[in-house]
Structure 1
Amino acid sequence: MTKKFENKVVVVTGGTSGIGLATAKAFSEEGASVFITGRRKEAMEAAVKAIGGRVTGVQGDMGKLADIDRLYDAVQQKHSHIDIVFANAGGGEFAPLGAITEEHYQKTFDTNVKGVLFTVQKALPLLRDGGSVILTSSTTSISGTPAFSVYSATKAAIRNFARNWILDLKDRHIRVNAISPGVTDTAGVEELFGNGESAENTKNYLASLIPAGRIGKPEEIAKAVMFLASDDASFVNGIELFVDGGHVQI
């Protein structure tokens, strides 16, 4: 390991599984002090054990402002600043137009939009000038998916947060970029597609549409996040980086 993030303080929301877990582990292996969030205690404990190194788990729902405050209180107990925020917590469910409920709308926007907004805003007093913020968007930000309009709308909002926040934060030289994964082999995707054989058939079908010939791995998305967070991306600001095997580029 290069220890590229030695002594850096990194916050990864939604860090107990999938892309968040893979990214938190990668940061830890590169020497960072990592804080992760997740809703479930058991998953949090397992993630902390899997990540190793200097990792702290803070149980919470990033759609709730009080839980975001507890996250940053935990950071301040150990550090005076934050270098990198990966606002990754999110999720969604299928619901076609005509069957969308207020509860479905509220839950998805609270987690994916409200949560990201206030995760970043509340980090600002601790975030170092010249720091890096990475937001998890999705290929659905530019590509339509049946019965997935609410989730897709939240991810389009995330992409536009990056465009606007680079203007709000330009005097502090804080970079904000969005990462947009395609279909990635995570527990969340497995559950979304119905688990078991149903999920496997869906993933195989989607893989057939991707020029790379397969779906992504969480570790591949993590590497892209690490790039955006690093000094190697010092002149990369406000972009949407697609990590999708070429799926939405054709």
Structure 2
Amino acid sequence: MPHPATAVQETAGGIAPHLRRLLEFVEPDRDDVCLDVARGRGPMPAALGPRVRHMTAVDAAPAPAEPSRGGRMSTVEFGTGPVRITGPSTDPDRPPATATREDPRPRPADPAVQADATALPYRSDTFSLVTARFSLYTLGEPEQVLRELLRVCRPGGRLIIADLVRGNLAGPERDRIERLRDPDHPGTPSIARLTEMITSAGGSIRRLDVFTVERPVEPWLAGARDDASADMIREALTDEVDGGPRTGAKPRVIGGELWFTQSWAHVAVVPI
């Protein structure tokens, strides 16, 4: 059952609380050889790099589509980050480069490798730690992606999945506003569905952390396909606050701002 909601707000520098929680769940080791597979350039390589022996990042984002006339231009992938993304120097989801005991200078992140998440360019059993944060359902057919992530993970290593989920008894209403924001949204899996896919792909679940996160609406709506869709979502959430139909997002007003709730899951998996 999900833990009580954690409020996620903008963070001026350092590591955002939700990312710190994920790093604690990952339990990186100084001897780890790590692979992060993401849609675009996520925060994990910079966060994990100083904590592991070697860090490899794969950008498995599909080729961007041409912006449609009259719509918004393509924006940075927002994923589930809690704040507005205005540029690489102000992304609070990305920690600053960290000095190590071996080298007092900050360690820059290596450029990401462009690759297909269902056909990674690495031998089997290469990495002791593989991570995929909020990308499993956007990089291809999820079962194929899972099998590939497990293939490159060493025996005795671990795969860490971080993604959106919904409760096993929750209805699909929540996906309606997700698809208003992003017509290509694949749908939010139930916890049971996510764990079933992992075991079917050849993984054994060792740890599971499911919790709810409360976040402001406006930074999330920055990634909406157009202004009309964003307005429809605001209206639906505001109506629910005023006693209207439920959206599944549990909106409320905090300090004059509209906030909503998501459920996130961290899953630690070992290949079998």
Higher relative contact order structure (alpha carbons within 8 Å, sequence separation ≥ 6): 2
TM bin (shorter chain): 0.3 to 0.5
TM-score, reference length from structure 2: 0.45
TM-score, reference length from structure 1: 0.48
Q: Which has the higher strand share?
A: 2
**Structure with bigger gyration radius:** 2
Q: Which has the higher helix share?
A: 1
